[in-house]
Amino acid sequence: MIEKLMKTQLFAWVDRRTGAEAIIKSQLTEYPAPKNLNYMWNFGSLALLMLVLQIVTGIFLVMYYKPSAEATFGGFTVAFDSVERIMRDINFGWLIRYMHAVGASMFFFVVYLHMGRGMYYGSFKEPRELLWIIGVVILLIMQGAAFFGYLLPWGQMSFWGATVITNLFGAIPVLGDFVTQLLVGGFAIGDPTLNRFFSLHYLFPLLLVAIVGGHVHALHVVHSNNPDGIDLHKPEEMIPFHPYYTIKDAFGVAFFLTIYAYIVFFNPQFAGYFIEVDNYVPANNLSTPAHIAPVWYLTPWYTILRSFESKLIGVLAMGGSLAILFLLPFLCKSAVRSARFRPVYQIMVIMFFIDVIILGYCGHSAPTPTLKIVGQLSTAYYFLFFVALPFLPKFEKTKPVPEGI
Amino acid sequence: MTDQANQSRRNFLYVAAGGLGAVAAGGMVVPFIGSMLPAADTLAASKTEFDVSTVVPGQLVTIQWQGKPVFVLNRTAELLKQVDGHDDILKDADSKAIDEVQAEWMDTPEKRKYRSIKPEYLIVVASCTHLGCIPLFKPTPGRKDWGDSVPEDWAGGWHCPCHGSLYDLSARVANGSPAPHNLHVMKYSYKTDTTVVIG
């Protein structure tokens, strides 16, 4: 179809003024991709899909959402009521809001799998270090956007989650109070906070679009890694991205949207994991819910924070656990990329994935002494994984890497 | 020679123009960051009056000051007694660690212990000094009413539901809590015998 389109006079006219043909050829129809990519390589396009869906649903929600903590006659607030109005009175409002709320969780889900793929197959290693680093920046901006967005419904979890996280910044030496004030805009979370969070929640996705552009550009310079993690040179090892991987990605999208639609239509709160029950209670600044926890995609880092008794060390450890992701390409020194040929790394990285899930479970549950110890051990392994990486090549016997595919 | 002179002149002009541009761009940060700091009307709402005689003995009420929650606890003789005898398990029994946990009227060991102008009326900021949650009031000693959310030798006080910090009935933090400090004491004074002005 593309070929047919490219033969038209109209396209020739556009091409003379934009160079569109060369771009389409080099980036799509003649863009070489390894022929052995498995389904773990679908999550990049799924993440892009989720970004677009979040932006589109978000734009429509903003047509009705009102960022104000002012009290209404009903005894709630303008923001809380406007969300309830979207749910009850706006045509299809329930659908668009559930798509957005479930979409946030699904976005993180595919991005975490995308990152796990990169870690397992060594996609972060030379020459793709910067590609990985841009990806980590994307993750941080996503987490910021999610945090800002979570305040907007102005429920109990919104309010107290924001209280806890803004207080975290207060622990930063010297600058802490200033940064907290910039975020909060008053003595406590209130109307000024809601308005600026709304502004930033709209800004961050725009930043994401720009940085995702950089991520894709960086990918198209160094090209995709592959499950064997070897450099490919021969033409017969490559296939053009279009139509082969556009079709495979489209199949992945159809499969993914089936699950997404099931959750949106039949189980949007997802047992309190995607939308927390306490957030249906309007924000009350005089009463903290009995158990507060962030949404599941932030709980691993929340556990790391909770594992330390000193507030400052907890905050530093949490910041460090994210910052250390930037260093992954430089800590992992093995010449072999894929875990398929690295028996020790393979066990370590699978344990790391399980470890993050355990951290997430601990952070979601009410704190008990047993879970605290489990959380502390998991935190220890989280950091140990990264610290051990540089020493791994000294004793790990890698399996022979194939010549080609 | 002329070429060299021109070159160094150009370098100077580049640096001077670039430097001034950077200063101007930096100056533009001031109004934007400044606009994010608390607004004048937000800062103006800074005083609250409260009649403590509305709090019956043994009762705790949470009121609002500057949008922040404030505890007003009317301590009975019995509750006041529960403050004694566990200084060794407190992080900062005399409330001397930072300015926010003390006040100039704390001039006797008695007042440092009770942390209030009138011993019975404890008035403190209700935000846990760890991450700002409001601690739950668990005044009776022991585990009878509270289960294992509190230690066995619990003397009565507050328990923060978020990360488990423990405070005694003078809002002093116990060892082992993630909270670094006692609950903050804000500025307040008695306007009449029962009316306090907070702020």
Of A168, A187, A308, the CB nearest to B68: A187
Number of domains in chain B: 2
Q: Are residues B31 and B53 in the same domain?
A: no
Number of domains in chain A: 2
Of A196, A287, A291, the CB nearest to B36: A196
Asked about B163 being catalytic, the answer comes back as: yes
Measured at the CA of A356, the angle between CA A351 and CA A360, to 5 degrees, comes to: 145
What is the mean pLDDT of the segment spanning A355-371? 91
What is the mean pLDDT of the segment spanning A159-184? 89
Q: Sign of the C-alpha dihedral, residues B134, B136, B137, B138?
A: negative
Of A132-136, A340-344, B44-48, B91-95, the one with minimum mean pLDDT is: B44-48
Whole-angstrom Cα distance, residue A129 to residue A342? 19
The model's confidence at residue A2, banded by pLDDT at 50, 70 and 90, is confident
- Please tell me if residue B177 touches chain A, with a CB cutoff of 8 Å: yes
Look at residue B1 in the predicted model and tell me its pLDDT: 52
Q: Are residues B14 and B62 in the same domain?
A: no
A69 within a domain of the structure (yes/no): yes
Q: Are residues B9 and B71 in the same domain?
A: no
Q: Which of left, alpha, beta for B156 (phi over 0: left; psi -120 to 50: alpha)? A: left
> For residue B82, what are the CA distances in angstroms to A51, A189, B153, B154?
56, 34, 12, 10
Q: Are residues A335 and A386 in the same domain?
A: yes
Look at residue A226 in the predicted model and tell me its pLDDT: 96
ipTM above threshold 0.90: no
Whole-angstrom Cα distance, residue A374 to residue A163? 26
Q: Are residues A270 and A311 in the same domain?
A: no
> Which of A289, A309, A328 marks a domain boundary?
A289
Please check the confidence at residue A213 and state whether its pLDDT lies above 90.
Answer: yes
Output phi, psi for B91, to 5 deg.
Answer: -70, -35
Look at residue B57 in the predicted model and tell me its pLDDT: 94
Mutate to test the interface with A, among B133, B162, B173 (most CBs of A within 10 A): B162
Look at residue A379 in the predicted model and tell me its pLDDT: 97
**Is residue A129 within 8 Å of residue A330, measured between CB atoms?**
yes
A403 within a domain of the structure (yes/no): yes
- Please tell me if residue B37 touches chain A, with a CB cutoff of 8 Å: yes
A167 within a domain of the structure (yes/no): yes
Of A91-105, A221-235, A388-402, B38-52, the one with minimum mean pLDDT is: B38-52
Instruction: Find out whether the peptide bond into A127 is cis, omega within 30 degrees of 0.
Output: yes
A2 within a domain of the structure (yes/no): no
Q: Which of the 8 DSSP states describes residue B180?
A: -
Measured at the CA of A184, the angle between CA B71 and CA A71, to 5 degrees, comes to: 70
H-type alpha helices, A185-245: 191-222
Q: Are residues A76 and A130 in the same domain?
A: yes
Q: Are residues B33 and B54 in the same domain?
A: no
Of A5-19, A80-94, B38-52, the one with minimum mean pLDDT is: B38-52
Q: Are residues B31 and B91 in the same domain?
A: no
Nearest-CA neighbor of B55 among B22, B79, B84? B79
Nearest-CA neighbor of A179 among B153, B15, B37, B56? B37
Please check the confidence at residue A264 and state whether its pLDDT lies above 60.
Answer: yes
Residue A234: give the domain boundaries: 34-289
List chain B residues with CB under 8 Å of A292: 133, 161-162
Mutate to test the interface with B, among A159, A181, A187, A200 (most CBs of B within 10 A): A187
Q: In this structure, what CATH number is given to the domain that contains residue B192? A: 2.102.10.10
pLDDT digits (tens, 9 = 90+) for A220-249: 999 999 999 999 989 999 999 999 999 999
**Looking at the DSSP assignment, which residues form a beta bridge with residue B121?**
B74
Look at residue A322 in the predicted model and tell me its pLDDT: 97
Q: Are residues B57 and B142 in the same domain?
A: yes
Tell me the range of A121-125, A275-279, B36-40 where mean pLDDT is highest: A121-125
- Please tell me if residue A363 touches chain B, with a CB cutoff of 8 Å: no
Asked whether the beta carbons of residue B37 and residue A185 sit closer than 8 angstroms, the reply is: yes
Q: Are residues B134 and B162 in the same domain?
A: yes
Q: Are residues A201 and A323 in the same domain?
A: no
| Residue-level pLDDT, tens digit, chain B, 199 residues | 566 668 888 999 999 999 999 999 999 999 999 999 988 888 876 788 999 999 999 999 999 998 889 999 999 999 999 999 889 999 999 999 999 999 999 999 889 999 999 999 999 999 999 889 999 999 999 888 888 888 888 999 999 888 888 999 999 999 988 888 999 999 999 999 999 999 8
Identity of the residue numbered A255: F
Q: Are residues A310 and A277 in the same domain?
A: no
Q: Are residues B8 and B81 in the same domain?
A: no
Q: In this structure, what CATH number is given to the domain that contains residue A42? A: 1.20.810.10
What is the mean pLDDT of the segment spanning A276-303? 91
Q: In this structure, what CATH number is given to the domain that contains residue A388? A: 1.10.287.980
A13 within a domain of the structure (yes/no): no
Asked whether the beta carbons of residue A311 and residue B134 sit closer than 8 angstroms, the reply is: no
Q: Are residues B114 and B56 in the same domain?
A: yes
Q: Are residues B69 and B101 in the same domain?
A: yes
Q: Sign of the C-alpha dihedral, residues B40, B71, A178, A282?
A: negative
CB atoms within 10 A of CB B147: 7
Q: How close A69 comes to chain B (CA, Å)?
A: 12
Q: Are residues A321 and A258 in the same domain?
A: no
Q: Are residues A279 and A333 in the same domain?
A: no
Annotated catalytic residue: which of B86, B130, B163, B184?
B163
Look at residue B161 in the predicted model and tell me its pLDDT: 84
What is the mean pLDDT of the segment spanning A362-389? 93
Q: Are residues B139 and B60 in the same domain?
A: yes
Look at residue A347 in the predicted model and tell me its pLDDT: 97
Look at residue B149 in the predicted model and tell me its pLDDT: 82
Of B69, B131, B177, the CB nearest to A285: B69
- Please tell me if residue B151 touches chain A, with a CB cutoff of 8 Å: no
Q: How close B170 comes to chain A (CA, Å)?
A: 20
> Which of A238, A260, A289 marks a domain boundary?
A289
A12 within a domain of the structure (yes/no): no
- In whole angstroms, what separates CA B112 from the centre of its chain? 16
The model's confidence at residue A168, banded by pLDDT at 50, 70 and 90, is confident
What is the mean pLDDT of the segment spanning A280-300? 91
pLDDT digits (tens, 9 = 90+) for A19-47: 999 999 999 999 999 999 999 999 999 99
- Please tell me if residue A176 touches chain B, with a CB cutoff of 8 Å: no
Look at residue A310 in the predicted model and tell me its pLDDT: 80
Q: Are residues B155 and B85 in the same domain?
A: yes
A390 within a domain of the structure (yes/no): yes
Q: Are residues A231 and A110 in the same domain?
A: yes
Whole-angstrom Cα distance, residue B171 to residue B113? 10
**Looking at the DSSP assignment, which residues form a beta bridge with residue B157?**
B138, B168
Q: How close A213 comes to chain B (CA, Å)?
A: 27
Residue B19: give the domain boundaries: 2-37
Measured at the CA of A39, the angle between CA A37 and CA A44, to 5 degrees, comes to: 90
Please check the confidence at residue A258 and state whether its pLDDT lies above 80.
Answer: yes
Output phi, psi for B197, to 5 deg.
Answer: -110, 120
Q: Which of left, alpha, beta for B39 (phi over 0: left; psi -120 to 50: alpha)? A: beta
Q: Are residues A349 and A368 in the same domain?
A: yes
> Which of A240, A273, A289 marks a domain boundary?
A289
* Surface-to-core class of residue B134, CB atoms within 10 Å of its CB (0-12 exposed, 13-18 middle, 19+ buried): buried
Q: What is the mean pLDDT of chain A?
A: 94
